[in-house]
Amino acid sequence: MKILVITAHPDDVDFGAGGTVATWIAEGHEVVYCLATDGQAGGSDNTVTRDEVAALRRREQTAAANMLGVTELHWLGFPDGAVVADLNLRREISAVIRIVKPDRVLTQSGERNYNRIYASHPDHLATGEAALCAVYPDARNEFAFPELLSERGLSPHSVPETWIMAGPNPKHFVDTTDVIDKKIAALLCHASQHTDPEGLPERMRGWGEMIAEAGGLPKGRTAEAFLVVDTK
Protein backbone atom coordinates (compact mmCIF):
# COMPACT_ATOMS: atom_id res chain seq x y z
CA MET A 1 0.00 0.00 0.00
CA LYS A 2 1.15 3.56 -0.75
CA ILE A 3 0.23 6.22 1.80
CA LEU A 4 0.49 9.99 1.40
CA VAL A 5 0.76 12.16 4.53
CA ILE A 6 -0.27 15.81 4.03
CA THR A 7 0.53 18.32 6.78
CA ALA A 8 1.08 22.04 7.21
CA HIS A 9 4.49 22.16 8.94
CA PRO A 10 7.63 20.16 9.57
CA ASP A 11 7.12 18.09 12.77
CA ASP A 12 3.29 17.95 12.49
CA VAL A 13 3.32 14.36 11.31
CA ASP A 14 5.86 13.32 13.93
CA PHE A 15 3.75 14.67 16.78
CA GLY A 16 0.41 13.41 15.51
CA ALA A 17 1.24 10.21 13.67
CA GLY A 18 4.93 9.35 13.97
CA GLY A 19 4.19 6.03 15.64
CA THR A 20 1.57 5.15 13.05
CA VAL A 21 3.96 5.96 10.20
CA ALA A 22 6.63 3.78 11.83
CA THR A 23 4.07 0.98 12.16
CA TRP A 24 3.05 1.25 8.50
CA ILE A 25 6.68 1.19 7.38
CA ALA A 26 7.31 -1.91 9.51
CA GLU A 27 4.31 -3.56 7.85
CA GLY A 28 5.88 -2.99 4.44
CA HIS A 29 3.84 0.00 3.26
CA GLU A 30 5.39 2.94 1.40
CA VAL A 31 4.83 6.35 3.01
CA VAL A 32 5.34 9.70 1.27
CA TYR A 33 5.15 13.17 2.86
CA CYS A 34 3.68 16.38 1.46
CA LEU A 35 4.26 19.61 3.44
CA ALA A 36 2.39 22.80 2.69
CA THR A 37 5.04 25.07 4.27
CA ASP A 38 8.72 25.01 5.16
CA GLY A 39 7.95 26.05 8.73
CA GLN A 40 9.83 29.33 8.47
CA ALA A 41 7.70 30.99 11.17
CA GLY A 42 8.61 28.35 13.75
CA GLY A 43 11.03 28.52 16.66
CA SER A 44 12.11 31.49 18.75
CA ASP A 45 15.55 32.39 17.39
CA ASN A 46 15.43 35.94 16.02
CA THR A 47 19.14 36.02 15.17
CA VAL A 48 18.69 34.06 11.94
CA THR A 49 16.70 34.88 8.83
CA ARG A 50 13.42 33.18 8.08
CA ASP A 51 14.98 31.71 4.94
CA GLU A 52 17.64 30.09 7.11
CA VAL A 53 14.94 28.72 9.40
CA ALA A 54 13.08 27.29 6.41
CA ALA A 55 16.22 25.52 5.18
CA LEU A 56 16.96 24.20 8.66
CA ARG A 57 13.45 22.88 9.14
CA ARG A 58 13.56 21.11 5.78
CA ARG A 59 16.73 19.37 6.90
CA GLU A 60 15.20 18.46 10.27
CA GLN A 61 12.04 17.07 8.71
CA THR A 62 14.02 15.10 6.15
CA ALA A 63 16.10 13.58 8.95
CA ALA A 64 12.97 12.80 10.99
CA ALA A 65 11.33 11.19 7.96
CA ASN A 66 14.42 9.09 7.30
CA MET A 67 14.40 8.01 10.95
CA LEU A 68 10.99 6.42 10.35
CA GLY A 69 11.84 5.06 6.90
CA VAL A 70 10.31 7.80 4.72
CA THR A 71 12.52 9.07 1.90
CA GLU A 72 10.16 10.92 -0.47
CA LEU A 73 9.03 14.41 0.57
CA HIS A 74 7.13 16.99 -1.49
CA TRP A 75 7.44 20.64 -0.39
CA LEU A 76 4.75 23.04 -1.60
CA GLY A 77 6.36 26.25 -0.31
CA PHE A 78 3.29 28.10 0.96
CA PRO A 79 3.96 30.77 3.62
CA ASP A 80 4.06 29.49 7.19
CA GLY A 81 1.41 31.18 9.31
CA ALA A 82 -0.62 32.29 6.30
CA VAL A 83 -1.98 29.06 4.84
CA VAL A 84 -5.52 29.29 3.52
CA ALA A 85 -7.67 26.55 2.00
CA ASP A 86 -7.90 28.28 -1.36
CA LEU A 87 -7.86 26.93 -4.90
CA ASN A 88 -4.08 27.34 -5.17
CA LEU A 89 -3.45 25.02 -2.22
CA ARG A 90 -6.11 22.57 -3.42
CA ARG A 91 -4.50 22.47 -6.87
CA GLU A 92 -1.00 21.80 -5.56
CA ILE A 93 -2.15 19.09 -3.16
CA SER A 94 -4.17 17.54 -6.00
CA ALA A 95 -1.01 17.53 -8.10
CA VAL A 96 0.91 15.60 -5.42
CA ILE A 97 -1.96 13.13 -5.06
CA ARG A 98 -1.86 12.53 -8.83
CA ILE A 99 1.93 12.12 -8.74
CA VAL A 100 2.01 9.72 -5.76
CA LYS A 101 -1.28 7.90 -6.50
CA PRO A 102 -1.81 6.84 -2.87
CA ASP A 103 -4.17 4.15 -1.60
CA ARG A 104 -4.59 6.16 1.60
CA VAL A 105 -4.15 9.79 2.62
CA LEU A 106 -3.41 10.90 6.18
CA THR A 107 -3.96 14.57 6.92
CA GLN A 108 -4.90 17.06 9.61
CA SER A 109 -8.39 17.91 10.73
CA GLY A 110 -10.14 20.86 9.18
CA GLU A 111 -12.42 20.95 12.22
CA ARG A 112 -11.37 22.98 15.24
CA ASN A 113 -10.77 20.93 18.39
CA TYR A 114 -11.78 23.07 21.36
CA ASN A 115 -10.58 20.42 23.82
CA ARG A 116 -7.01 20.69 22.49
CA ILE A 117 -6.71 24.05 20.78
CA TYR A 118 -3.00 23.67 19.95
CA ALA A 119 -3.88 20.95 17.45
CA SER A 120 -6.08 23.47 15.64
CA HIS A 121 -3.45 25.91 14.41
CA PRO A 122 -5.01 27.86 11.52
CA ASP A 123 -2.46 26.37 9.11
CA HIS A 124 -3.48 22.87 10.25
CA LEU A 125 -7.15 23.61 9.71
CA ALA A 126 -6.53 25.09 6.26
CA THR A 127 -4.25 22.25 5.16
CA GLY A 128 -6.70 19.61 6.38
CA GLU A 129 -9.62 21.29 4.63
CA ALA A 130 -7.70 21.71 1.37
CA ALA A 131 -6.38 18.14 1.51
CA LEU A 132 -9.85 16.67 1.92
CA CYS A 133 -11.13 18.85 -0.95
CA ALA A 134 -8.22 17.59 -3.04
CA VAL A 135 -9.05 13.98 -2.19
CA TYR A 136 -12.70 14.61 -3.02
CA PRO A 137 -13.47 15.88 -5.56
CA ASP A 138 -10.43 17.61 -7.08
CA ALA A 139 -7.74 14.97 -7.63
CA ARG A 140 -10.12 12.45 -9.21
CA ASN A 141 -11.86 14.91 -11.54
CA GLU A 142 -10.04 15.66 -14.80
CA PHE A 143 -12.15 18.80 -15.22
CA ALA A 144 -11.02 20.22 -11.87
CA PHE A 145 -7.75 22.07 -12.49
CA PRO A 146 -7.57 20.80 -16.09
CA GLU A 147 -4.09 22.29 -16.40
CA LEU A 148 -2.78 19.50 -14.16
CA LEU A 149 -3.48 17.10 -17.03
CA SER A 150 -2.95 19.36 -20.03
CA GLU A 151 0.21 21.13 -18.80
CA ARG A 152 1.74 18.73 -16.27
CA GLY A 153 0.51 15.40 -17.63
CA LEU A 154 -0.98 14.36 -14.28
CA SER A 155 -3.88 11.96 -14.69
CA PRO A 156 -6.75 11.93 -12.17
CA HIS A 157 -6.49 9.64 -9.16
CA SER A 158 -9.09 8.53 -6.59
CA VAL A 159 -8.03 7.93 -2.98
CA PRO A 160 -10.06 5.11 -1.35
CA GLU A 161 -9.70 6.26 2.27
CA THR A 162 -8.53 9.25 4.28
CA TRP A 163 -7.27 9.23 7.86
CA ILE A 164 -7.71 12.45 9.84
CA MET A 165 -5.53 13.22 12.86
CA ALA A 166 -5.92 15.72 15.72
CA GLY A 167 -9.66 16.12 15.21
CA PRO A 168 -12.31 16.26 17.93
CA ASN A 169 -13.93 12.85 17.30
CA PRO A 170 -11.35 10.10 16.67
CA LYS A 171 -12.70 6.57 16.43
CA HIS A 172 -9.70 4.51 15.29
CA PHE A 173 -6.72 3.91 17.58
CA VAL A 174 -3.31 2.61 16.51
CA ASP A 175 -1.19 0.91 19.18
CA THR A 176 2.24 2.57 19.00
CA THR A 177 3.83 0.97 22.07
CA ASP A 178 6.42 -1.00 20.09
CA VAL A 179 7.49 2.03 18.03
CA ILE A 180 7.23 4.86 20.55
CA ASP A 181 11.04 5.13 20.72
CA LYS A 182 11.15 5.70 16.96
CA LYS A 183 8.50 8.40 17.24
CA ILE A 184 10.51 10.14 19.96
CA ALA A 185 13.73 9.84 17.91
CA ALA A 186 11.98 11.43 14.94
CA LEU A 187 10.66 14.27 17.09
CA LEU A 188 14.11 14.94 18.52
CA CYS A 189 15.35 15.55 14.96
CA HIS A 190 13.39 18.82 15.13
CA ALA A 191 15.98 20.32 17.46
CA SER A 192 15.19 23.92 16.56
CA GLN A 193 11.66 23.54 17.93
CA HIS A 194 12.37 22.06 21.36
CA THR A 195 12.85 24.13 24.49
CA ASP A 196 12.97 21.01 26.71
CA PRO A 197 14.23 18.05 24.67
CA GLU A 198 15.13 16.09 27.81
CA GLY A 199 11.49 16.09 28.91
CA LEU A 200 10.12 15.15 25.49
CA PRO A 201 10.22 11.34 25.89
CA GLU A 202 8.23 11.40 29.12
CA ARG A 203 5.68 13.83 27.66
CA MET A 204 5.19 11.74 24.53
CA ARG A 205 4.78 8.53 26.47
CA GLY A 206 2.30 10.17 28.83
CA TRP A 207 0.33 11.64 25.94
CA GLY A 208 0.35 8.30 24.13
CA GLU A 209 -0.85 6.47 27.23
CA MET A 210 -3.71 8.96 27.63
CA ILE A 211 -4.81 8.36 24.03
CA ALA A 212 -4.51 4.59 24.47
CA GLU A 213 -6.68 4.71 27.58
CA ALA A 214 -9.31 6.70 25.67
CA GLY A 215 -9.25 4.03 22.99
CA GLY A 216 -9.73 1.17 25.45
CA LEU A 217 -6.20 -0.23 25.17
CA PRO A 218 -4.58 -1.95 28.18
CA LYS A 219 -2.86 0.20 30.79
CA GLY A 220 0.73 1.05 29.87
CA ARG A 221 0.18 0.99 26.11
CA THR A 222 0.56 4.07 23.90
CA ALA A 223 -1.54 4.98 20.89
CA GLU A 224 -2.42 7.56 18.25
CA ALA A 225 -6.00 8.35 17.25
CA PHE A 226 -7.69 9.04 13.94
CA LEU A 227 -11.00 9.41 12.18
CA VAL A 228 -11.07 7.13 9.11
CA VAL A 229 -13.19 8.42 6.24
CA ASP A 230 -14.35 6.36 3.27
CA THR A 231 -13.43 8.46 0.21
CA LYS A 232 -13.82 5.87 -2.53
- Residue range 130-158, pLDDT digits in tens: 999 999 999 999 999 999 999 999 999 99
pLDDT value for 9 = 98
Position 43 pLDDT exceeds 90: no
Q: Which residue has the higher pLDDT, 163 or 44?
A: 163
Position 82 pLDDT exceeds 90: yes
Give the count of beta carbons closer than 10 Å to the beta carbon of residue 92: 20
pLDDT value for 44 = 79
Position 183 pLDDT exceeds 90: yes
pLDDT value for 109 = 97
Q: Does domain 2-230 have CATH number 3.40.50.10320?
A: yes
pLDDT value for 84 = 98
pLDDT value for 126 = 98
pLDDT value for 39 = 95
pLDDT value for 12 = 97
State how far the Cα of 24 lies from the Cα of 4, in Å rounded to an integer.
12
DSSP 58: H
Strands (E), 148-222: 161-165, 172-175
Q: Which residue has the higher pLDDT, 32 or 118?
A: 32
Domain parsing of the chain, residue ranges = 2-230
Are 168 and 120 within 8 A, CB to CB?
Answer: no
Position 119 pLDDT exceeds 90: no
